[in-house]
Structure 1
Amino acid sequence: MEIKVGERSHVEVITDIFNHFILTSNTRFEEKIFTYENRLDWFLQFNPETKHQIYVAVKDGKVLGFACSQAYRTGMAFSDTVEVTIYLNEKAKGMGIGTALYTRLFSALSVQAVHRALCGIALPNESSIKLHKRFGFSEIGVFNEYAKKNGEYISSIWLEKLFTSSCTM
């Protein structure tokens, strides 16, 4: 398996991974699937030279998952904060791919001006919570039943990770 910088050619598979979760779980709150065009617009925010990065795990020419860091909110007040996301193909879980993706992403972010990384995880999702805690994230709270999808209320746990990069101001 290889961890690579995400490229435009990966957008179609990334879209498929997102759509799987939209259709089969409350992990994603959207009720309508993403289009390739929608995800391509989203993908254009990433650049390996900035704090907004995306990496993919590739094995035998197939993308098995991705991890990314993106703006938490707009505005200068949040410029040193990123929100991180990780998604794996259902068949790729339990193979160490999430660990490999986050190892690469957090290594890259350690030399960027990142002060804090945030992550929201729809509940229940013990495996994602364990992964994030393994990388130094700590719980900051739960938004109880704050979203609704397919008639069901969804809660999310929020976690944070402090970066001590020499680039952080």
Structure 2
Amino acid sequence: MVREGEPADAEGCRTIYAPFVEETWISFEEEVPSVREMARRIEGYGSSHGWVVAADEDEIVGYAYGSPHRLRHAYRFSCDVAIYIPPDRVGQGIGRMLYRSLFPLLAKNEVHAAYAGIALPNDASEALHEAVGFTPVGIYREVGWKFGAWRDVSWWQRVL
């Protein structure tokens, strides 16, 4: 089941997100946000763009959201998207369901184009984004420093 996220989902979303922060370069955050901070993000991004969660009974098994792309006013019709699914749930169609639910929320909030930044390498994320209609638009080389190395980010676009 996919539904709009709510602040009460913060702990479940944080549980999914923490390993991406602590163990991978998929997220460029270096400290796991608190449950309170995650609730703030769900509430803020949920109202401005959209936040959706996939639940299996009472367990959050993935989430996706939109957030501002850039701060300049001319970018107001564009957004960044992020999606997080635990490794043991990848390949079950959760990502597609999340994006299919997120895109109408973004459109309702007047988003024209969504952008996904994928830290490389990440074949599974690239395959998911291509499957839901994103196209690659370029690579930022050595844009992030994490775990003692420079990381590239591939950028993908989907016009809604």
TM-score tier, shorter chain, comes to over 0.9
**TM superposition shift of 1:107:** 2.9
SS class of match (1:94): coil
RMSD of aligned alpha carbons: 1.4
TM norm structure 2: 0.93
Corresponding residue number in structure 2 for 1:166 = none
Structure 1: how far apart are the matches of 2:63 and 2:46?
14
Query: Which of these residues, 132, 136, 146, is aligned with residue 139 of structure 1?
Result: 136
- Larger Rg belongs to: 1
Q: Counterpart in 2 of 1:26? A: 25
Q: Shift in Å at residue 41 of structure 1?
A: 2.4
Is the Cα–Cα contact under 8 Å of residues 122 and 154 in structure 1 kept in the other structure?
yes
Q: Identify the residue that residue 149 of structure 1 maps to in structure 2.
A: 146
Please state whether the residue corresponding to 1:158 is helix, strand or coil: strand
Segments of structure 1 that go 5 or more residues without pairing to the other structure are 164-169
- Residues 1:120 and 2:117 aligned together: yes
Give, in angstroms, the shift of residue 31 of structure 1: 2.1
Please state how far the C-alpha of 1:61 moved relative to its aligned partner: 1.1
Q: Secondary structure at the match of 1:145?
A: strand
Which range moved further: 89-98 or 79-88?
89-98
**Is the 1:31–1:150 Cα contact (8 Å) retained in structure 2?**
no
- After superposition, give the CA deviation of every residue in 1:5-49 in whole Å (9 maximum; x if it has no partner): 10111001111211110111110112222211222222221346x
Which of the pair is proportionally richer in helix?
2
Name the counterpart of 1:80: 77
User: 1:113-166: per-residue Cα shift (whole Å, max 9, x none)?
Assistant: 121111100000111111111122111111111111121111110011112xxx
Query: Runs of 4+ in structure 1 displaced over 6 angstroms?
Result: none
The residue identity in structure 2 corresponding to 1:62 is E
User: Once the two structures are aligned, what percentage of the paired residues are identical?
Assistant: 29
